[in-house]
Amino acid sequence: MRGPIVVGANGSDLSRLAIEEATVIAKGTGLSLVVAFVRHLPLAGLGAIATSGMSVAVANEILDAEQAIVEAESIAIVGSTSVRWSLEVCTGEPATELMRIARELDADTIVVAGKRHGAIGGYLCSSVCTQLHHRWPWSLLVIHPRFEVSSWPTAGTVAP
């Protein structure tokens, strides 16, 4: 592994898991950690904002709150370890920005959290994980939440 480990975070419970796992890996390898928060306001969302009455200023306040959550979680998780870390904040399409940050820092590992989708669901939602899987040429670690063995899917079903 070279460069820091880049972990995508958005303030969700899943991204907290990604930060936790990336921290363990960084500590074990002696690499630094870069927590990347991408401010993403898709163009399609702008129309929804306009029609719902939510102003761009309010949308930006929501993004600022999400950024503050990511920063606080990062401090709580990584700050109590000996891992060197930093927070990168940028705006754009999440997968593209995570790859840009990793390239600029000469990192070859990106860690993200993922939801389990069926094949069609993953294709239709074009998740950050799916985009990275198809576009990132080096190591990609996707953290999924644990679920009980009794809830494991059986043949012909899709994971939650």
Q: What is the pLDDT of residues 6-51, one digit of tens each?
A: 999 999 889 999 999 999 999 999 999 999 999 886 644 555 555 5
Rg (CA), the chain: 17
Q: Which residue in 80, 113, 93, 85 sits closest to 10, CA to CA?
A: 113
Query: Domain for residue 113, yes or no?
Result: yes
- What local confidence, expressed as pLDDT, does residue 96 receive? 96
Q: Which residue in 70, 136, 143 sits closest to 102, CA to CA?
A: 136
Query: Domain for residue 158, yes or no?
Result: no
- CATH label of the domain that carries residue 60: 3.40.50.620
**Mean predicted confidence (pLDDT) in 142-147:** 83
Question: Model-level pTM?
Answer: 0.81
- What local confidence, expressed as pLDDT, does residue 44 receive? 43
- What local confidence, expressed as pLDDT, does residue 104 receive? 97
- What local confidence, expressed as pLDDT, does residue 125 receive? 47
For residue 136, pLDDT beyond 90:
yes
- What local confidence, expressed as pLDDT, does residue 49 receive? 52
Residue 112, Ramachandran bin (φ over 0: left; ψ between -120 and 50: alpha; else beta): beta
Query: Domain for residue 72, yes or no?
Result: yes
**Residue 59 to residue 93: CA distance in whole angstroms:** 16
Range of the domain at 109: 5-151
pLDDT digits (tens, 9 = 90+) for 76-118: 999 999 999 999 999 999 999 999 999 999 999 999 998 765 5
Place 124 in a pLDDT band, splitting at 50, 70 and 90.
very low
Query: Domain for residue 159, yes or no?
Result: no
For residue 67, pLDDT beyond 60:
yes
For residue 157, pLDDT beyond 50:
yes
Q: How many CB atoms lie within 10 A of CB 123?
A: 11
Task: Give the count of domains, the chain.
Answer: 1
